[in-house]
Structure 1
Amino acid sequence: MSAETDAAERYFSSIAAALGGLEVFMRDDRSPLYRHGIVARIVAEYLTRLEKSFSCWRNRLGFQETFRISRAESGYPVFQNLLELENDRRQADQRLANIPAPDELRAEMADFILRRKEFPKALQKSMAERLYLEDVKSEETFGPFSLSETVKVSVNPKSGLPYYLVHWAAFDGAANLPVVYMVTVEDSTEAMVRQLVIKDGKLNEKVDIPLPVEGLLNPELAHKFDDFTEKNSAYSLAPMTIAVNLDRDFETLHPKQLRRVVLGPFYTAGITENNSTVSEVLAKVRKPENAWLLTWTIQEVYSKGEKPGRKGLFSSEKTTQEFFINTDDLEATRQGVSSYENHALVPHEAYQALYAAGEVQKVFSGYKVHILSNGQVISDV
């Protein structure tokens, strides 16, 4: 096995273990994140897509030897890999039609070995490509941009307006990071209020809403909302900026809370170079499959009140949200958020190595640490 192949195997094994561990944490109702129940479930869905993407990329190496990751920054694959995955999905049926069926390929491989007494590399690549294409078209991967879904509908008893919980995701091409967005938004569109809210200020149970609903529940605004989310999903945009833009761009949508979950960076020994201290310590971990560290950040912006709109003869102003920024916290101010949480997931052996090196405080300062041990996640260490 070449050094490049060995490094690729270690990388894919490490990221698979990290995402699998994070999914265990997200789906565990005992985890501290589960106080946000639905938030954890939404993120877990996108983790499943990410895991599928990495499984496909791993298979792709069987016939395509180029695969680049952002070694010095995010530790994730570069954006080009996502575009190639999307392109392969679209062309899968066409390309499969030109590759012999698996049984036919196996027969050709056996015949080649018997006649030539050597391994049929070209046929093996054809088999690898067929298996990859069948895989890539079978389930949803984490794409460059995932359209929004409405997953919850209720009525705010104070305002009497319906509100939705909507989520979407993007893979930021500049930072090479997967980001998941969730917004709770009230809708004052007259037609939606009339349809969804009954006289006592409760949700009209007679309206059948087959959740999850693709896109924003309001059909009048669904296309515009999708355009907005696609243009406002960059990691470089502060959550505050996105919330203000949403509030400004939609007359009858009133964002009450916006969450962004940034799934990374990812660190793995001997491959990523995004933190010298972490890299040095992880290099000392005995088992390469345990020499990794995954971090994620949950950012939140919420409205602390509203500035009432006014309607005049010659001009009018819409109701606008007054978003809270925690100016007592310099980091919250820098990020443009009301609050944030930094999390880190690390295998038990890697945590022990960091502890033995006296680096735990330095590496995990400001982080909530979660340790993966024997398929379980231990928090609050």
Structure 2
Amino acid sequence: MQADGSLNKDKVEILATYVQGLSYTFRALSMKYPLVGRDTGQRLGARDMDSVESGFPVFSEPLVMANDAQQAGRHLGSMPSAERLKAQMLGQIIGERQIPSRLQFALSQRKYYEDLRRGHLFWAQNDPEIRWLDTNEARSRFLVHWAVYDSQVNLPTIYFMEVKDTGRARMPRDERRWPERGSRGK
């Protein structure tokens, strides 16, 4: 899209960041639910996917994930290490000749929380960010971007808005027009 002129370099870089966040998000979700559909005789979690429209996870998934991310440290602190879980799995496979479904599930949950703790995910709401556009005009121009996970269609949606700054103070430093916001998992 950059080559055909429909997106400039700034927007391509921003989109790449959001796409990377989506990739990390889907990776984390894949760790949360790796045993879904496996006949284990026990319920090991189930993911909700939009099977009618988008094929993406339903809106509640990123909301639950954000809640889980806030508690990831506590969960990781109470779980056995990955090395210990792998050793237990080997013992169950070799010694007991059984499929270690519960241990596999425990390891996947550990990896899920590790991914959440690592961060850089695409959340249900990604706060606006501002980027100065290098121009030779008398007024500064900025590119404002933000993203949400649209609950109506279960799709990530990214917004861009170009703004020409007319204030006395530059927009990113003007607390009246651009209030400071705490980061939400960025």
Using the size of structure 2 for normalisation, the TM-score is 0.81
For 2:9, give the aligned amino acid: G
The 8 Å contact of residues 163 and 184 in structure 1, kept in 2 or not, is answered as yes
Counterpart CA distance in 1 for 2:12 and 2:94 is 54
The 8 Å contact of residues 28 and 111 in structure 2, kept in 1 or not, is answered as no
User: Is the alpha carbon distance of 1:100 and 1:174 closer, same or farther for their aligned partners in structure 2, counting shifts above 3 Å?
Assistant: same
User: Is the alpha carbon distance of 1:107 and 1:154 closer, same or farther for their aligned partners in structure 2, counting shifts above 3 Å?
Assistant: closer
The 8 Å contact of residues 82 and 107 in structure 2, kept in 1 or not, is answered as yes
User: Is the alpha carbon distance of 1:138 and 1:72 closer, same or farther for their aligned partners in structure 2, counting shifts above 3 Å?
Assistant: same
Give the structure 2 partner of residue 52 of structure 1. Answer: 24
Give the structure 2 partner of residue 80 of structure 1. Answer: 60
Give the structure 1 partner of residue 98 of structure 2. Answer: 118
Counterpart CA distance in 1 for 2:92 and 2:77 is 22
Please report how far the alpha carbon of residue 34 of structure 1 lies from its aligned counterpart in structure 2 after TM superposition: 6.0
Give the structure 2 partner of residue 42 of structure 1. Answer: 14
User: Is the alpha carbon distance of 1:129 and 1:39 closer, same or farther for their aligned partners in structure 2, counting shifts above 3 Å?
Assistant: same
Larger radius of gyration: 1
Q: 1:222 aligns with which of 165, 178, 184?
A: 178
Counterpart CA distance in 1 for 2:66 and 2:99 is 32
Please report how far the alpha carbon of residue 82 of structure 1 lies from its aligned counterpart in structure 2 after TM superposition: 0.6
Please report how far the alpha carbon of residue 83 of structure 1 lies from its aligned counterpart in structure 2 after TM superposition: 0.8
Structure 1 counterpart SS, 2:45: coil
Structure 2 counterpart SS, 1:62: coil
For 1:106, give the aligned amino acid: K
Counterpart CA distance in 1 for 2:150 and 2:63 is 12
Please report how far the alpha carbon of residue 84 of structure 1 lies from its aligned counterpart in structure 2 after TM superposition: 1.6
Give the structure 1 partner of residue 184 of structure 2. Answer: none
Unmatched runs of 5 consecutive residues or more in structure 2: 36-43, 182-186
Counterpart CA distance in 2 for 1:34 and 1:73 is 26
Counterpart CA distance in 1 for 2:82 and 2:149 is 34
Root-mean-square deviation (Å)? 2.3
Give the structure 1 partner of residue 72 of structure 2. Answer: 92
Give the structure 1 partner of residue 39 of structure 2. Answer: none
Please report how far the alpha carbon of residue 58 of structure 1 lies from its aligned counterpart in structure 2 after TM superposition: 1.3
Give the structure 2 partner of residue 180 of structure 1. Answer: 158
Counterpart CA distance in 2 for 1:150 and 1:88 is 28
Counterpart CA distance in 2 for 1:34 and 1:175 is 24
Counterpart CA distance in 2 for 1:71 and 1:162 is 45
For 1:84, give the aligned amino acid: V
Please report how far the alpha carbon of residue 173 of structure 1 lies from its aligned counterpart in structure 2 after TM superposition: 1.1
The 8 Å contact of residues 34 and 40 in structure 1, kept in 2 or not, is answered as no
Please report how far the alpha carbon of residue 33 of structure 1 lies from its aligned counterpart in structure 2 after TM superposition: 4.6
2:114 is aligned with 1:134: yes
Aligned length: 172
Unmatched runs of 5 consecutive residues or more in structure 1: 1-25, 193-215, 227-381
Decide which structure has greater strand share: 1
Counterpart CA distance in 2 for 1:35 and 1:52 is 24
User: Is the alpha carbon distance of 1:115 and 1:75 closer, same or farther for their aligned partners in structure 2, counting shifts above 3 Å?
Assistant: closer
Give the structure 1 partner of residue 139 of structure 2. Answer: 161
The 8 Å contact of residues 33 and 40 in structure 1, kept in 2 or not, is answered as no
Counterpart CA distance in 2 for 1:133 and 1:33 is 40
Please report how far the alpha carbon of residue 116 of structure 1 lies from its aligned counterpart in structure 2 after TM superposition: 2.5
User: Is the alpha carbon distance of 1:107 and 1:164 closer, same or farther for their aligned partners in structure 2, counting shifts above 3 Å?
Assistant: same
Please report how far the alpha carbon of residue 170 of structure 1 lies from its aligned counterpart in structure 2 after TM superposition: 0.9
Counterpart CA distance in 1 for 2:94 and 2:7 is 61
User: Is the alpha carbon distance of 1:35 and 1:116 closer, same or farther for their aligned partners in structure 2, counting shifts above 3 Å?
Assistant: closer
Deviations 1:265-285 (A, max 9, x none): xxxxxxxxxxxxxxxxxxxxx
Structure 2 counterpart SS, 1:190: coil
1:1-381 matches, cutoff 5 A: 31-33=3-5, 36-62=8-34, 64-154=44-134, 157=137, 160-192=138-170, 217-220=172-175, 221-223=177-179
The 8 Å contact of residues 147 and 158 in structure 2, kept in 1 or not, is answered as yes
Please report how far the alpha carbon of residue 39 of structure 1 lies from its aligned counterpart in structure 2 after TM superposition: 1.8
User: Is the alpha carbon distance of 1:116 and 1:222 closer, same or farther for their aligned partners in structure 2, counting shifts above 3 Å?
Assistant: same
Q: Which moved more, 1:146-155 or 1:45-54?
A: 146-155
Counterpart CA distance in 1 for 2:151 and 2:127 is 17
Structure 1 counterpart SS, 2:28: helix
